[in-house]
Amino acid sequence: MTVELDARAKEILRGNDRGGYTVPTHGLYPYQWNWDSVFSAWGFSTFDLPRAWVEIETLFASQKADGMVPHIIFHQVDPGYFPGPDVWQGGGEPPTSGISQPPVAAILARLMWEGDRDAGRAAITALYPKMVAWHRWWMEHRVVDGVAVVTHPWESGRDNCPDWDHGMAGVDGSNVGEYHRRDTGHVDADMRPKKIDYDRYLAIVYAGRSMGWDQARVLAEGPFLMTDPAVHFILLRAMDDLAAIGRDLGQDVAEVEGWAETLRAAVPDMWNPDLGAYDAYDLKSGQWANNLGTGAWLSYLAGVENAAMDARLTKAWDKVRYGIPSADPEGATFNPKRYWRGPSWAVMNALIALGFQRMGHEAWDARLRRETADMIRIGGFAEYHDPLDGSPCGGANFSWTAAIWLTWAG
Ligand code: 9YW
């Protein structure tokens, strides 16, 4: 069984390879997505290391002059996905979107590099200054008072999770006109964000576009701005990993270490005492999200933990059977099949497990790995899974789920 799943996972990655970059899955997502691509690279690194490094090189080839690495790169126009390059108008050749995605590159590149330094030396040496530039972009354009923020739910990678409900309520989506969604033609509409969400996603894109994606203006004037503990902890961990890579390469890492210090010093500011956990905060309306979600779970990744929160989190985990739920199972809006509002994501479980490993939570790591493997055995290489019964949700033959099987779960 395991051998068969290994072979199938490799087949999926090879099948989603479009030559230098990997699509998340055929049909639903026909372009290169930033963090999907890095997870795919990690997956490739288990059986084709040169191909793995090429994946990250292709991603960074679309880095903007200001250092941003875009969230989607539209290599070949495909009518199967909306909104495409004509809507985004993010510039570039190939064209890109106008926002970024969680900066996991340094975290996984370090693992790849430490797995085989000789094979990775040239690639990591070329990549290092690009990753520094991207992290500088985050510090300059997506960190407010030391805390990481997102200017669009898509920038967080967790589109419709309950974290964003307050911020989204403040976005006027009534003027976006008629448009034709393609996602619901590929997968069950009950597993996707709702129309009201899409109207607002588009309204935020139109606002950024009208500012010519001037990122200082997007931050200051955009219609959505929330702190994101998940991105914060990912960025903080990525800073530590980037500094480690830099030291290995004999670079002066003082600037990177300084960024890590800034982010670390602000961790207490993300603590919501009423929730008893790290939480997202809406900078527009001044409200906590009050959601026990992925952000809290990712704290371990950055070497942060809190005994009071541990108990809250494990209680939520115990309510489901297959991995970490993307929203609190006891929350009023929990839905085990609707995208980021409850389902378990193999890719998130793997990232959370890297945190457990960092903090020496071996039993949690083993449990999460077992549950994720079981979920994939039940539901296959789906985009994500129902955390109650492991059934497959969203798109099938998903690159990042295949990658997680090969690197950690399988
Ligand atoms: C979208 C590709 C992307 C992921 C995101 C996920 C979803 C929807 O799909 O975004 O249309 O961009 O939320 O994390 O990168 O798999």
Residues 219-251 pLDDT 10s: 999 999 999 999 999 999 999 999 999 999 999
Decide: 55 in ligand 1 pocket, CB within 6 A.
Answer: no
pLDDT of 221 reads 98
Examine the pLDDT at 1 and tell me if it is beyond 80: no
pLDDT of 127 reads 98
Span from the CA of 28 to the centroid of ligand 1 (angstroms)? 10
Determine the 3-state secondary structure of 324 from DSSP. coil
Q: How far apart are CA 148 and CA 158, in angstroms?
A: 15
User: What's the chain's average pLDDT?
Assistant: 97
Span from the CA of 157 to the centroid of ligand 1 (angstroms)? 6
Q: pLDDT tens for residues 302-331?
A: 999 889 899 999 999 999 999 999 999 999
Examine the pLDDT at 2 and tell me if it is beyond 90: no
- 81 Cα nearest atom in ligand 1: 11
Decide: 36 in ligand 1 pocket, CB within 6 A.
Answer: yes
pLDDT of 103 reads 99
**Residues 89-112: what's their mean pLDDT?**
98
Query: 32, 33, 160: which to mutate for ligand 1, most atoms within 8 A of CB?
Result: 33
**Residues 267-292: what's their mean pLDDT?**
97
Span from the CA of 296 to the centroid of ligand 1 (angstroms)? 20
As a whole-number percent, the residues of the chain with pLDDT over 70 amount to 100
**Residues 330-351: what's their mean pLDDT?**
97
Q: pLDDT tens for residues 167-226?
A: 999 999 999 999 999 999 999 999 899 999 999 999 999 999 999 999 999 999 999 999
pLDDT of 70 reads 98
- 35 Cα nearest atom in ligand 1: 15
Examine the pLDDT at 3 and tell me if it is beyond 90: no
Predicted TM-score (pTM) of the model is 0.98
Examine the pLDDT at 381 and tell me if it is beyond 90: yes
Provide the pLDDT confidence category of residue 64 given band limits of 50, 70 and 90. very high
Task: Supply the residues annotated as catalytic.
Answer: 159, 383
- 159 Cα nearest atom in ligand 1: 13
